[in-house]
Structure 1
Amino acid sequence: MIFKNIKIIFRELFKNKVVNGINITGLAIGIAAILFIVQYIWFETSFDSFIQNNDRIYRLVFNRYYTTGLDQSVGNSYLAGQIARENIPEVENFVRCKKSTQFLQVEEDIFKEERAFFADSSFFDLFSYPVVSGVKSDFLREPNVAVITESLARKYFGDEDPIGKTIYRVNPGKTPLLIQGVVKDVPENSHLKFDVIISLASELGPSYCYTCNNTNTYFLLREGSNPNEVAAKITDYALEFLESRGMKLDFKIEYELQKLTDIHLHSHYRFEHEANGNYGYLIALMIVAFFILLSAWLNYTNIYKSLIKRKIKSLGVRKINGASWRSFAMDFISETWITGLISLILAFAIISLLFPTLKSYLHLEYSFDFILRLRTILYSILIMTGISIGVGIILTLRYLKTIPLNMVLTKSSNAGNKRPKNFVLIAQFSIAVFLIASTMIAIQQIHYMQDSALSMNIDQVLTVKRSVDGKYNTKQREFEQSLKNFPGILETSYSTVTPGEKNGWVKGGIAIKGTDLLSDQFFQSNVAPGFFDFFDVKLLAGRSFFPDETNWEGGPRHIILNKQAALALGAANYEDILGKILVDNDDKNEMGEVVGVVDGYFQNSLDQEVMPTIFNPDQFGYFIFIKFHNENPVELVSKVKAEYQEYFKDSYFEYFFLDDYFNQQYQSHIQFNRCFILFSIMAIIISILSLLGAAIMSSVERIKEIGIRKVNGARITEILVLLNTESIKGVIIAIIIATPLAWYTMHKWLENFAYKTTLSWWIFALAGLLALGIALLTVSWQSWRAATRNPVEALRYE
């Protein structure tokens, strides 16, 4: 009996294969969207959950309250964790670590390892990364030792045992590193992604800055400890320590503890190990995915109801012959379940086919195996079964109330039939118009941040990073001079921090000489005298640096401020600040005389306010900028590399194109926007399928009417207008509904950006025209087929 029912169901599916194909495809796209997004959200929310005792591990966050705003950093001094461990009983253990790109030499080969960390010996006590080989209790307890991952071990030594082998830190110098252990590769859902851990003791020495806030600190608290109380105690001990050193702060400081599993989605502080996720974007994507699935489900139910109407007579005959409500329910449940299962299988097929492309396009970190987990498949089938049972029961109850004779005579009321269809059409195209408009605005905002609002020129700039060792200073000058002899290279410049990099040189206690102390936060940077001309940064007042100026070789000091620094120092206009001398009240030294004010120097992305910055002139810098014109980038890099190795013989050639490096800051925004593009395409496809299915069903239902009208002389254009009118009205209503919703939503989204584009009316008009054009093409194609059909065939229908 079961096989017979299944055979009948498949026969019905093939009987109306076009409409059922549209139905199944639309539902499959919706299911694929929700599966993809749910897995992405699960991955993003699973960060660091595999770490043992993750509920007791916290990271120390350092808050400084300046008048220019709150500075939140996870960079802390070397002493902060140690003082807390010694004085606060709730602290069971702690670890300090910091990320640093390292150049490692293995035999004659040099490798650039960007996922390198320096850490205390307690690192593997707090973080339960599985050990493959080596004695865990001995890890990182001495200077110049390291632990590496399995993949790095294979990369360096193949199948050989790496324990006890020596590699070298180079660039600058050559320091041996003894490999003590190997651990499994770090899962992608960890915010501490490393390939090599080097003992933090390797960095310590007379020149190490123990009070600089440049080290991440993690605590393992004892069971039952209150993290807020522990953070308050850390703040008290920090203030006591500063007072004991005779340091009196002119701004408030406060420490807080951040739960380990909250870091990835709820943390965007200075000194993060990597660009973290965005919790708000996850919520937005979940809502969008829900509406995509809703659109697909509306399409499915609308077409399925239309198909049931076509066999309503047979249902009525069955009811007259005594068919029970159970048989009706089983038929409806079986049919919806089989259709849903086919859609589910097709959804997995769509994801498997497109996943490599989507992974690259959306910069996803997880693999396809993550989606094909047994739990995902079982949950999907269970949800599909539950929905099928619900639909079956609803349809059974609906037709149980209908008089059998009316079903046989097809007298079931058709009143209001257009309303549900129009409602589905309006809902689907409202979603499509909303997504199209939102996507266009997101694209415009990203373009605005990357190009229009960026008041400095970073295009066609190759950046070379040299070693910080002072012995290379004279070589740098010779290197730059040699580059100017190459055709296609226009000019060079340099600085100690590159645009797009988080500036760690920041402090308070800076004021104009002879004035009251201000609680402002100022960043600093050393730049080439011609730095601002190189990047086309506008000079608002005063002068640029002279070619031979430097603040670090004795003599008078001069500085340039960005306009934010001038305003923070109380300048009513930029000319007023010229000639003033700034002092650092912490060490009582004069910083220099203000000789200029510049506009729009963007150190970080434009979703953040530009921070007050002080620029010092210098004759050397660690980042060398090379502006080129009409040069093949590959050939340019090859030429510059050859020249670099001529002057920096024992250094690794490290380079990047500045615009690419700067725009990496927008990665989360770009990823979110690409998701919107993807879902907009899905919404449009589902809307097209829904409209096409509705047009096919409508033309079938009105086939005799069309034939009669044609026999009576109706023209094809009149038939087209007749069949298209309702659909076009529905799309217009959808545009009217979606436009204000899209405007309000994107207006709120743009409030998250310090520099934002305007919401232009033409974006919403274009989104509406696109939706209208898609609807016209879809409906007109099916209407044309119906209108050009031989009227004799139409009158003989059935």
Structure 2
Amino acid sequence: MLKNYFKIAWRSLLRNRTYTLLNAVGLTVGIVCALMLYTVIQFERSYDTHHQKKDRIYRLVTDMETPEGPNLTGAIPYPVPATLKAEYPQIENVSFYIGGGPGQITVEKSNQKFREASGIYAVEPSFFDIFDYLWLSNEASVSLGKPGNAVLTQAVAERYFGSWQKALGQTIRLNNNNILNVTGVIKNPPANSDLPITVLYSVTPRTSTDWVSINSAWQAFVLLSPNASGEQFNAMMPAFAKKHRPVDAHKAVFRLQPLSEMHFDARYGTPSGRTFSMATIRSLTLVGIFLLLMACINFINLATVQAIRRSKEVGVRKVVGGNRRQLLGQFLAETTLIVSISVLAAVALAQALMPLASRLLEFSETLQLLHDWDMLVFILALTLVVTFLSGFYPAIILSGFNPIVALKSQVKSTGNVTLRRALVVFQFAIAQVLVFGMLVVVKQMNYFQTKNLGFSHKDPVILLSVPTDSVSQSKVSTLKNELLQQRGISALSMSFNSPADDRNWFTPLRYDNAEKDTDFAANMKLADPHYFNLYAIEFVAGRAYAATDTFRAFVVNETLLKRLGIKDPQEAIGKTINLWDGYYEAPIVGVVKDFHAESLEEEISPMLMMHSDSYGFANVKIEASQLLEAMPRIEKAWNRIYPEYIFDYQFLDDKIASFYQQERQMSQLFKLAALIAIIIGCLGLFGLASFTAEQRVKEIGIRKVLGATTSSIVAMLSKDFLRLVLVAAIIAFPVGWYLMNIWLEDFAYRIKISWWMFGLVGVSALGIALFTVSFQAIRAAISNPLESIKGE
């Protein structure tokens, strides 16, 4: 019996090719979206789940309290990890790690130089007691047992030495400074890890009593004992901070952040610099469900249209003895066949599109669709759900025809008309919500790109990474002189970082001989006096410090004065700022207008600027018309002055753009989702228009005989559908406004949702719907009226 069902179903589908194609295409598109979104979500949710003790691993983070709200960071003061382990038996192990940023590795034997963008850490051997990595050689106790030893990943070892076996016993130099002996090699960490390890090396632990200063490079992980609770431990942390931190320090609490939350919490960031919020995962899940539902709705609408054409077939089957159960099985078999074809096509198409999705989402490796049993179970479950959602209702309707009415061709309706219209409204409401979301995300991204950041980056600026050892720093003057003589270079400044940067150094301060530190931390920016001219940073009071003012003067921003309660910037000129209990004290010589030192997701923070005696970056401004010619000359000068270092640079605009990587990805995903939703929605509208045209064919014929014009018939058939789209808009607009307002709340600086956005989405939806419906309406209007009414 089952074999016959599928044999007849196959013949029926071949006989109705257009219907089969429309249904298969709609389902395939919906299933492709579901498969790809599921793959992305599963990949993001799998970050760092490969560690056996993952449920007991926590990162130490710092929550600082300010009058404006919490200031959160994934870094900690240096003494915290060792002190915690000494005082709390609930901690089984702790590992401090330093660095994670870029660096240059030189192979001593061949003098080959390699630039690593990230993943160079100084760690303790206990790091490998907490995290699980597969060793190809000696284990941690041997490899990192004493200072100066280094562990490489397999890929890095092969890149440096040709094979990982040859790496053992070799010597490398880190930044031409630290001599390291390669004593161990580990398998490459998986791509879904927020610890992008390349080189690990051991250092001698140092003692420190500074419980206030925080450097973003100082981070630590904790392994709790099996019977300990992270929540209970965090309840003890305020007392721990109060015990060890100075009384007059700004308020701060240390906390354990579960490893399972790290990848999804942008407030603290991650060592990899990449996060993926749970809100985004929920959004993608909803988008996938909605697109799949839209595809199923299409199937239902198209199936009810097809039902009219098959009414006689149903009548004949019932007359010759077919019962409803058999007919139900027959039509479900047809649905199963279409869904199975769609699923197979979707799997093949999704696999082919995975490289594109990986590039779009900027993953380091191409995502694999069929990578585990979970995906196969998901595909099977998806097939069953789609089959039931798409096929059950049409099968009930088709199998329920009265045979006499069906044989007389008097079937006027199939199923509940109100339900079908509600489904179309639901489809277009989803489509308009997605289009509206896409518009808001794109506008917010444009806002990021066009907003005045408070400093000039009109001309290209490159950030040259300058070595910080004493010999290299002594050549900085030579580098500056040579570059400034090059044609096309208009300005040069040395600094700790760029004006907008994700590497920041926050510290408390004392203003005008105050007795205690402020209750907020200021963002310290070290830069030479040329920094202000190069970036056209505007002064509202005072002046820039002079070249001779190394550690002798401060420039502050307007926000710092607001936090201090000072309204007139001139009032601050000459007042002193004291750092680190008098270790450094100097007067304020200038006040600059606020500029954005971080991403636009963050409020402008208080800022403290001063001139140092050494810097890690050269800011080189190049005339836009001379960019292509200037870059080779800059590289040539660099290689002449620093032959032992790789020429390494980054454009400032690229650095600023990196702040908004996730938003850029969301923008692309919303564009694709909106486009797919519109396509699926149009297919659904096409199905309902076909159904209406079939139902009203005799009415149209009579109207034409009585003199109705083609345009009046098209208008008659179209107006009902346009009403459905308007109803969908009325539903979609408040939902879209609410959802996108929630999304915008994550940004300190954001656009306002304007009325014209709703108008643009509504007009676009009406235009698309009119175009879709007009095809069927015109076809019905120009048909021969005699053919449509001859049966009367």
Q: Give your verdict on TM over 0.5.
A: yes
Residues of 2 paired with 1:319 and 1:453: CA distance? 74
CA offset at residue 134 of structure 1? Answer: 2.4
CA positional deviation for 1:303:
0.9
Contact 1:278 / 1:668 at 8 angstroms: preserved in 2?
no
User: What pairs with 1:60-79 in structure 2 (closer than 5 Å)?
Assistant: 60-79=60-79
* 1:429 aligned partner: 428
Tell me if the contact between 1:192 and 1:273 (Cα under 8 Å) persists in the aligned partners.
yes
**Counterpart position of 1:199:** 202
- Report the more deviating stretch, 103-112 or 467-476: 467-476
The farther-off stretch of 33-42 and 629-638 is 629-638
Q: TM-score, normalization: structure 2? A: 0.92
Q: State yes or no: 1:761 paired with 2:755.
A: yes
| 1:259-658 equivalences in 2 (<5 Å) | 259-269=258-268, 272-365=271-364, 367-371=366-370, 373-389=372-388, 394=393, 403-411=402-410, 414=413, 418-459=417-458, 460-514=460-514, 517-546=517-546, 548-552=547-551, 557-584=552-579, 586-589=580-583, 591-618=585-612, 621-631=615-625, 633-658=627-652
Q: In structure 2, which of residues 710, 718, 722 is the aligned counterpart of residue 728 of structure 1?
A: 722
Matches within 5 A, 1:218-257: 218-233=221-236, 236-237=239-240, 239-242=242-245, 247-257=246-256
Q: Deviations over 1:738-796 (max 9, x none)?
A: 22222222222212211111212222222222222222222223433443445566567
3-state SS in 2 of match to 1:161: helix
Q: 1:689 to 1:327 in 2, by over 3 A?
A: same
Q: Which AA in structure 2 matches 1:148?
A: L
Which of 665, 686, 698 pairs up with 1:671? 665
| Code of the aligned partner of 2:32 | A
CA distance in 2, matches of 1:690, 1:10: 23
| Alpha-carbon distance in structure 2 between the residues aligned to 1:136 and 1:797 | 88
1:756–1:197 distance in 2 versus 1, CA, 3 Å:
same
Q: Distance in 1 between matches of 2:364 and 2:521?
A: 36
How far apart, CA to CA, are the structure 1 residues paired with 2:732 and 2:393? 30
The letter of the residue matching 1:84 is L
Instruction: Return closer, same or farther for 1:398/1:19 CA change in 2, 3 Å cut-off.
Output: closer
CA distance in 2, matches of 1:2, 1:230: 61
Q: Distance in 2 between matches of 1:512 and 1:656?
A: 39
Residue deviations 1:254-298, cap 9 Å, x none? 221111121111353167442222111111121122222221111
Change (3 A) 1:689 1:261: same
CA distance in 2, matches of 1:22, 1:430: 21
Deviates more, 1:617-626 or 1:658-667: 617-626
Match of 1:33 in 2: 33
- The letter of the residue matching 2:249 is D
User: C-alpha deviations, 1:511-545, integer Å up to 9, x for none?
Assistant: 23257653121121111213223212232233333
Residue 739 of structure 1: aligned partner: 733
Counterpart check, 1:120 vs 2:124: yes
> What root-mean-square deviation, in Å, do the aligned CA atoms of Structure 1 and Structure 2 show?
2.8
CA–CA distance in 1 between the matches of 2:638 and 2:211? Answer: 34
For the 8 Å contact 1:23–1:693, the answer to whether it is kept is no
Distance in 1 between the 2:370 and 2:518 partners? 54
Q: 1:105 matched to which residue of 2?
A: 106
Shift of 1:395: 5.1
The letter of the residue matching 1:296 is A
- Structure 1 residue 47 corresponds to structure 2 residue 47: yes
Give the Cα separation in 2 of the matches to 1:259 and 1:156: 35
Q: Distance in 2 between matches of 1:211 and 1:158?
A: 45
Per the alignment, residue 143 of structure 1 pairs with 147
1:17 aligns with 2:6: no
- What's the CA shift for 1:642? 0.8
The alpha-carbon distance between structure 1 residues 21 and 400, as it changes in their structure 2 partners (threshold 3 A), is: closer
Rounded to whole Å, the distance in 1 between the matches of 2:514 and 2:87 is 41
Give the letter aligned to residue 317 of structure 2: R
The one-letter amino acid paired with 1:483 is: L
CA contact (8 A) 2:305 2:687 kept: no
Deviation at 1:485, TM superposition (A): 2.4
3-state secondary structure, aligned to 1:462: strand
Q: Indicate the SS of the match to 2:424.
A: helix
Q: What is the identity percentage for the equivalent residue pairs of Structure 1 and Structure 2? A: 28
- Could you tell me which amino acid in structure 2 is paired with residue 573 of structure 1? D
How many aligned positions are there? 785
Alignment partners' CA distance in 2, 1:508 and 1:666: 29
Contact kept in structure 2, 1:97 and 1:200, CA below 8 Å = no
For 2:522 and 2:269, the matched residues in 1 are separated by 14
1:6 equivalent in structure 2: 6
Q: Check if 1:153 corresponds to 2:147.
A: no
For 2:773 and 2:120, the matched residues in 1 are separated by 58
Whole-angstrom distance in 2 between the partners of 1:464 and 1:136: 35
The superposition leaves residues 539-568 of structure 1 with CA deviations (integer Å, 9 ceiling, x where unpaired) of 22333334x34233xxxx321111111101
> 5+ residue gaps in structure 2?
none
How many angstroms does 1:589 deviate by? 4.9
In 2, Cα distance between equivalents of 1:208 and 1:424: 67
1:694 is matched with: 688
Match 1:189 to one of 188, 192, 196: 192
User: Using a 3 Å threshold, how does the CA distance of structure 1 residues 171 and 396 change in structure 2: closer, same or farther?
Assistant: closer
Match of 1:180 in 2: 183
Cα deviation for residue 110 of structure 1 reads 0.6
Any conservation in 2 of the 1:30–1:295 contact (CA below 8 Å)?
yes
Partner Cα separation in structure 1 for residue 782 and residue 288 of structure 2: 39
Between 407-416 and 52-61, the greater mean CA deviation after superposition: 407-416
Given that 1:72 and 1:270 are in contact with CA atoms closer than 8 Å, whether structure 2 keeps it comes out as: no
Give the letter aligned to residue 768 of structure 2. Answer: I
Query: Structure 1, unaligned stretches of length 5 or more?
Result: none
Are the structure 2 counterparts of residues 387 and 232 from structure 1 closer, same or farther at C-alpha, using a change threshold of 3 Å? closer
Cα distance in 2, alignment partners of residues 523 and 85 from structure 1: 30
Given candidates 768, 772, 777, the residue that maps to 1:774 is 768
Contact (CA 8 Å) 1:562, 1:597: kept in 2 or not? yes
Counterpart selection for 1:171 from 167, 170, 175 = 175
Deviation at 1:731, TM superposition (A): 1.8
Q: Are the counterparts in 2 of residues 336 and 392 from structure 1 also a CA contact under 8 Å?
A: yes
- 2:135 is the alignment partner of 1:131: yes
Structure 1 residues 453 and 88: CA distance shift in structure 2, 3 A: same
Aligned CA distance change for structure 1 residues 11 and 410 (closer, same or farther; 3 Å): same
Task: Report the Cα offset of residue 453 of structure 1.
Answer: 4.0
SS in 2 for 1:132: coil
Query: C-alpha distance in 2, partners of 1:590/1:154?
Result: 47
Task: Give the Cα separation in 1 of the matches to 2:322 and 2:171.
Answer: 81
Give the TM-score of the pair, scaled to structure 1.
0.92
CA positional deviation for 1:394: 4.8
Q: Is the 8 A contact 1:562 1:600 kept in 2?
A: yes
Moved more, 429-438 or 619-628: 619-628
Whether contact under 8 Å (1:102, 1:112) holds in the other structure is yes
SS of the residue 1:12 aligns to: helix
CA distance in 2, matches of 1:426, 1:22: 20
Supply the distance in 2 between the matched residues of 1:270 and 1:189 (Cα, whole angstroms).
16
In 2: Cα distance, 1:410 partner to 1:797 partner: 10
2:212 and 2:742 mapped to 1: Cα distance? 41
In structure 1, C-alpha distance between the alignment counterparts of 2:134 and 2:598, rounded to whole Å: 37
Q: Distance in 1 between matches of 2:52 and 2:201?
A: 22
